Amino acid sequence: MTSMLSAAGIRGILLDIEGTVTPISFVHEVLFPYARARVSDYLAAHFEGAEVMSDLARLREEHAFDVREGREPPPLLDASSEAAIDSFVSYIFWLMDRDRKSPGLKSLQGKIWEQGYANGTLTAPLYADVLPAIKKARVAGLKIAIFSSGSVFAQRLLFAHSDAGDITKLIDQHFDTSTGPKTASESYGRISLAMDLAAAEILFISDVVSELDAACTAGMQTLLCVRPGNPAQSDGKHAGIENFDRLPEII
Ligand SMILES: [Mg+2]
């Protein structure tokens, strides 16, 4: 099965973030270390806050599950608030080291990044070809949506603080893994419904072949984005692009 692009009929573009509109290194070498370095201070400053309490409650549930599964996570302690914070930090590092897609962890990271974006320490680098292509697609009447494993909150922060400025108004919809895994075709069916477009009217662009395969199974059109620094993808079934310069011609 080869994914063919039909020049006509595309009414929406669904974009991945990491490796497609921003370098993978921004997430792994900037965002993740930023949150890791600040999580202890953040918890100490916000430990009694309702929102942080709810993140920690979710982490406690996940911890109990890890214990039941015999994964031997570092213990959670509650002898004092200092001991509790230190033990949560150890568990959070343990989750980060496993690249766990944990809702409690993601929520906490989002709050820490929010501070960094707000005080100007963090700025999201967009590939220079992204904004012009999005603008042209919108002029052509296309809907623009995002599907990323980062939370919708983190996605909005990123596009609000990009090196091209706040471009949140150019994006119609955001989807994260609460819609479903990026490698499950059902997720793309749900996105198609939510975008109010037939799957075949949506062009999904990502750097990961297994995600494109799932979108293709759901009936979407696909493009493999090959950016510098992306891991090599061996599958040849999806048409490839190295940047968005030709996108306005394709659509
Ligand atoms: Mg990606």
For the cut 60, the answer to whether the pLDDT of residue 7 exceeds it is: no
Question: Does 94 lie in the same domain as 111?
Answer: yes
114 and 135 fall within a common domain: no
Selected residue with higher pLDDT from 235 and 58: 58
Q: Which residue among 96, 118, 140 closes a domain?
A: 118
100 C-alpha to ligand 1 centroid (Å):
16
**In CATH, what number is assigned to the domain containing residue 161?**
3.40.50.1000
- Average pLDDT on 212-241 reads 92
- Strand order of the β-sheet with 202-206 is 173-175, 143-147, 12-15, 202-206, 221-225, 240-241
Contact 168, 159 (CB under 8 A): yes
* Dist. CA 207 → ligand 1 center (Å): 5
Q: Distance from the CA of 107 to the center of ligand 1, in angstroms? A: 20
3 has pLDDT over 70: no
Cα angle: 85, vertex 87, 93; to 5 degrees: 100
* Confidence category of residue 5, pLDDT binned at 50, 70, 90: low
Looking at residue 4, its pLDDT comes to 47
Q: What is the pLDDT of residues 172-226, one digit of tens each?
A: 999 999 999 999 999 999 999 999 999 999 999 999 999 999 999 999 999 999 9
φ/ψ (deg, to 5) at 206:
-150, 165
CA-to-CA distance for 67 and 13, rounded, in angstroms?
A: 42
pLDDT for 135: 96
Residues 234 and 189 in one domain: yes
User: What tokens were used for 76?
Assistant: 């959670």
Together in a domain, 13 and 62? no
> Tell me, what's the pLDDT at 31?
97
| 2 within domain boundaries | no
Residue 235: the pLDDT is 67
Could you tell me the CATH number of the domain that includes residue 32? 1.10.720.60
User: What mean pLDDT is reported for the chain?
Assistant: 94
Tell me which of 92, 118, 144 is where a domain ends.
118
- Which stretch of DSSP H or E encloses residue 60? helix 50-68
How many Å lie between the centroid of ligand 1 and the Cα of residue 23? 9
* Residue 76 domain boundaries: 28-118
pLDDT higher than threshold 80 for residue 236: no
6 pLDDT more than 80 = no
Provide the pLDDT for residue 233: 85
Provide the pLDDT confidence category of residue 234 given band limits of 50, 70 and 90: confident
Question: Based on the domain organization, do 90 and 143 belong to the same domain?
Answer: no
237 CA from centroid of ligand 1 (Å): 17
pLDDT above 90 as % of the chain: 89
Is the model's pLDDT at 38 over the cut of 70?
Answer: yes
Residue 1 confidence (pLDDT) above 90: no
Q: How far is the CA of 188 from the centre of ligand 1 (A)?
A: 15
- Whether 134 and 11 map to the same domain: the answer is yes
Enter the pTM of the model. Answer: 0.91
How far apart are the CA of 20 and the centre of ligand 1, in A? 6
pLDDT in tens, 75-103: 999 989 999 999 999 999 999 999 898 88
Q: Is residue 1 part of a domain?
A: no
Q: What does the pLDDT look like over 41-68, one tens digit per residue? A: 999 999 989 999 999 999 999 999 999 9
Give the model's confidence band at 8: pLDDT under 50 very low, under 70 low, under 90 confident, else very high.
low
What percent of the chain lies above the pLDDT cut of 70?
A: 96
Alpha carbon of 88 to ligand 1 centroid (Å): 29
Q: E-strand spans in the chain? A: 12-15, 143-147, 173-175, 202-206, 221-225, 240-241
